[in-house]
Structure 1
Amino acid sequence: IPAMTALMDCTESRLLFAASGGIKYLSRQLRMGKSSKSSGQGSKKDDKKKAATGGVSASVQQLYELSFCLWNMTYELNGSASVRADFAKDGQAVIALVDLVSSAPREKAVRVALAALRNLATCSSAESPGPASTPKVDGSVFLTEMLGCNLLKAIAFLRDRQWTDPDILDNINLLYKLLSDNYKEMTRFEVYKSEVESGHLCWGTVHTEAFFRENAKMLEGSDGDFKLLKVLIALIGSKDEDVAGIACFDLGEFVRQYPNGRSIVKRMGAKELVMPLIEHENPELQRQALQCVSKMLIQNWEFVK
């Protein structure tokens, strides 16, 4: 990692690093490092997680250096359409940075992660718009991703903490304003869509019976390809048990509220993904999976709740 930080000194090396897949690499390493850091508590479940990430627990210094590198890369956002596209690809960079901010390991790591998120949220495509055939990527795209990752909730929590670095507070306040303004402009379904696409599901008003009663039809998509529903079904296999449980709930509500929803999700293989979770060691995930399968099988679910 120290060698990578040395590469961040000039624009030329940053652009070469980005062209070589550096942004994706940094994002992946930051997520793996954060995951292994948070899983080293000694239980069997944690041991499995640790094994999955290579068994190496990243130090706070390593997390700081990785986020420092990503922060440096954000200074190429305005001048390079390809760098913006790399940051937007799969949302991995935003997810990694939001995860780090949410866990708040040390002030210095939070500082550079917030600074990187600020640069992402305020970047512009005016200087380097990119090819006309490609989607426009600017700060609004990244703000939507941040909302999907529940950064607004994390930022609200950080506002209540005491910080010695004034730059941290400035970035917190700016991000809170930008996220709040963007949230107000989004419909509830847009909020839900960004959350599902980010893979960061979190219990809230978009994971309720009332929401799906109003919005189940929206999961068809503009082309009728049920693309978002397919992403939701994939989240049932998430390693994050909370995410998997919420995905089960959402899927069950879609089945209930969408005409012929049962046959649609069965055709997509959802039942085969949910069934093994009925015997999961996590009781809440087990409960959500059981209810999801029941909703797939029982016509009048409301009478057996």
Structure 2
Amino acid sequence: MTSFTSNTRGFPAPASSSPTKVTCPTVPPSPYASSTGFSEINWDIFSRSGTLTSSETQILRMAETNPLTYVLIDPTDSKTYVNALVKTLGIESSNEVRHYVLSRILEVLSCEVKGVENLFWEGGEVKGSSILLRCVQSSDGWSVKASSCILSHLLTTSSTPSTPALKELIKTIFTILSNEPSTLPRVITALTVIVKGEDGRKECLEQGGVGCLGRFLRGGEAGGQTTYEVVFVLWCMSFESNLDSFRVSQTVPLLHQILTTSNRDKITRVTIATLKNLTSSPPLVSEMSSLNLLKRVNNLLSSPQSDPDVLSDLSTLKTLLEKSYQNLTTWDVYVSELKSGILEWGAVHTERFWRENSKNMEDNDFEILKILNRLLVSGSTQTIAIACYDIGEFSRFYPGGRGLVKKMGGKDRVMELIESEDEEVGRQALVAVSKVMVQNWEFVK
């Protein structure tokens, strides 16, 4: 398995060296935990029922009154303690007991004790892995997050990883996400651990991970930290050689949107790094060009950048995109600008351009004309003014263009814009309406 070490980006990068000590992911405190810990749990109930032995209940009590490292320093005590925790987790009991056990397991895995993960392995399997997997599938959000982090950590840090168990965990996570995409914040931290290894990345790709995460981003419901973790997972998967799923899932437009709208440095860094990795696929480079990503890259290069890795990635993107951009037709340039949602006056907004390209609007049932209509309600007055101009020119040069503009509602919207407070928008709207209404516009000119 390929291991990851930290680098100057602030997030892990692939490396061939052996992994150093990796602590278990941090999970927010259980809602059952107070400032003094959990409410007192009566371990005698478990002892009297025969669920736990007297030595197991004794070690559980000892861990409550002594530092955890004190319990774990003795090989016999540490083994008994972990066995007691796993056994308790398998008992049908209250949420509070389950939260307590998961919290203590997380604490054990975070202790600075050499080989602490080995306490959870027996016969080449993680102790209680099936029980932990049931917790991942539960309806209790905190239990899902805690158990998925525990399993992902144990399955990726062992020197003899259990590949079938890792595959089962990944399959479970993506099944959950397919049925309930809103549960992603519960399992995304575990995914960030899983994809640091080659086996985990490949399995995530095979399970449709790129498309699944893309659907979440497309929903626009992700908060800043979750967005960062999602893009981080995509970045890790972008190190694999087969990048077809990124193309099929239309991930590049999502990354472009994030790069355009995000104001958080760490999200920008990992997004740029992901796009840079994706340039190993020529079809994805062409897709970046069609989205006018080069413009955003140039803007970022012109702003102060202190991170040398970010500058390197941006320079690589710029070089490849410039080469790809030279192969684009003027119509490709127009489409990419339109899809970016930001229009600027230039060669693709002229009479000559529309005389030569109006027929191209027929593609995909006039998809581009529909996008152009949507830009009439843009937040940018310049974009609205240019959209009015383009609609007017399309009406002039495309046979039946006037009727199409009217049918799609473009004429009515442009007429409303004549009264715009922005002088340029009002002027372009008036001229556009005239072009839509008048058959022989050149005589009016």
Find the partner of 1:176 among 303, 318, 324. 318
User: Which one-letter code corresponds to 1:112 in the other structure?
Assistant: V
Which letter maps to 2:192?
M
CA RMSD of aligned residues (A): 3.3
Partner of 1:143: 288
Q: Which amino acid aligns with 1:9?
A: V
1:257 is matched with 397
Q: Distance in 2 between matches of 1:98 and 1:139?
A: 18
- 1:1-305 paired onto structure 2 within 5 Å: 4-11=188-195, 12=200, 18=209, 21-29=212-220, 62=224, 66-77=227-238, 78-79=241-242, 81-88=244-251, 91-100=253-262, 105=263, 107-123=265-281, 138-147=283-292, 151-221=293-363, 225-302=365-442
Cα contact 1:216–1:258 (8 A) shared by 2: yes
2-side partners of 1:9 and 1:272: how far apart?
53
Cα 1:157–1:269 change in 2 (3 A) is closer
Instruction: Output the TM-score relative to the length of structure 1.
Output: 0.68
String of CA shifts for 1:224-274, please: whole Å, max 9, x gaps. Answer: x43332332333344554433322221111112223322232233321232
Distance in 1 (CA, whole Å) between partners of 2:245 and 2:352 is 41
For residue 111 of structure 1, what is the amino acid of its counterpart? R
Larger relative CO (CA 8 A, sep 6+): 1 or 2? Answer: 1
Q: Which amino acid aligns with 2:287?
A: F
Structure 1 residue 168 displacement after superposition: 1.0
CA distance in 2 between partners of 1:93 and 1:235 (Å): 21
Q: Sequence identity of aligned pairs in percent?
A: 37
Distance 1:71 1:119 in 2: 12
SS in 2 for 1:202: coil
Relative to the length of structure 2, the TM-score reads: 0.49
For the pair shown, the structure with the greater C-alpha radius of gyration is: 2
Measure the CA separation in 2 of the matches of 1:67 and 1:169.
19
CA spacing shift, 1:201–1:117, aligned 2, 3 Å: farther
- In the superposition, relative to structure 1, how do residues 199 and 121 fare at CA in structure 2: closer, same or farther (>3 Å)? farther
- Change in Cα spacing, 1:142 to 1:226, as seen in structure 2 (3 Å) is closer
Q: Which piece of structure 1 moves more, 12-21 or 289-298?
A: 12-21
Q: Is the 8 A contact 1:248 1:288 kept in 2?
A: yes
Gaps of 5+ in 1: 34-57, 125-137
Deviation at 1:107, TM superposition (A): 4.3
In structure 2, the CA distance between the partners of 1:219 and 1:17, relative to structure 1 (3 Å rule), is closer
Secondary structure of 1:186 counterpart: coil
Could you tell me whether the CA contact under 8 Å between 1:23 and 1:70 is conserved in 2? no
| CA distance in 2: counterparts of 1:80 and 1:158, whole angstroms | 26
Change (3 A) 1:168 1:228: same
